[in-house]
Amino acid sequence: MWKSERQLALITYRNRSNLQAVVKKVQAVNTITNNIFQREQSITRPKQKRPDITKFIINEIINNLGTTFKKLPEESRIAKIYCNLPTNTKPYIKKMNITLSDDLKGSRIKMLWTGYENQSQHVACTLADTIRKYGSAYALEQTDYPAAFTKEYGLWDDELKIIKEKVMERDNQLEQEKVTRLSEYIRKQIWDHISKLWAEDNRFKYVIVVVPEIIDKTKTLCTIELPHLYKKSKICVLKQTPTHVMKNSTRIDIVDKTVTLTFSKTDFKANKNFICSLTGKK
């Protein structure tokens, strides 16, 4: 039986409505599926990393300086600028009277130190200056190990300024605070690299480690130098205070800013693994 036009129109309307409903459901399902897919993609696909500026600059500096790190200085070129006292401080020790046993004379002696604020660097450099009257003794700052870096980048504050410029050349969109933080990190990594080379230098069999009363175990001595120290090194620990020094377990008073020390091969017996753990702080 033929349906009336009204009936046909009603059926067509209902079919169209059903079709639109189906289309909306399909669209909704597609939207949900796409959202899930995009979310999974964001989780599984690694984010695009920005270039590692610090690693690039550190490698660039180290590669450019190359083997120039490994020179020992002529006596006339021994550095003085880094062997300074902390600002606005007076030295605990101005003069050292040093005696070396005959079996130690002529030996190369390496100075390691930690605690700049406690004048350890000043003591180490002064001690090395005095020992060199009888033999060969150096703190890192008195060798050509850092000379290649400081010649190219200047002294401490200048180093930071030039490294900042390099960071900005690589990414001029960085905030100044981050530039400073990255530059300080880069400078530390370069000095840690130099310190590691110095610790590994096997031309020095004897090592005097100058430390304050309390050692900060987060500093370079404990984190870089002692772990990489030439394995056959023989060590003597010199703990310095405002009133006295301890050579291993022997106390020597500072009198009129003068200290008298005697070194023999038997003094070089400390175990590097305990230097930081015995007197360190967390």
Q: What is the pTM of this model?
A: 0.75
Task: Supply the pLDDT for residue 91.
Answer: 92
Task: Supply the pLDDT for residue 3.
Answer: 44
Closest residue by Cα to residue 119 from 280, 253, 238: 238
pLDDT tens across the length of the chain (282 residues): 444 444 444 444 455 555 566 456 546 545 555 554 455 554 444 444 445 778 888 888 887 766 555 556 555 455 555 677 888 899 999 999 999 999 998 899 999 999 999 999 999 999 999 998 888 899 998 887 887 788 788 877 788 899 999 899 888 888 889 999 999 999 999 999 999 989 999 989 999 999 999 999 999 999 999 999 998 999 999 999 999 999 998 999 999 999 999 999 999 988 887 788 755 454
Q: Which amino acid is at 95?
A: K
Q: Please, which residues have CB within 8 angstroms of residue 25's CB and are 6 or more apart in sequence?
A: none
Task: Supply the pLDDT for residue 244.
Answer: 96
Residue with tokens 């349906």: 3
Cα–Cα distance measured from residue 142 to residue 134, given in angstroms and rounded to the nearest whole number: 17
Residue with tokens 């100044």: 176
Task: Supply the pLDDT for residue 150.
Answer: 81
Task: Supply the pLDDT for residue 48.
Answer: 43
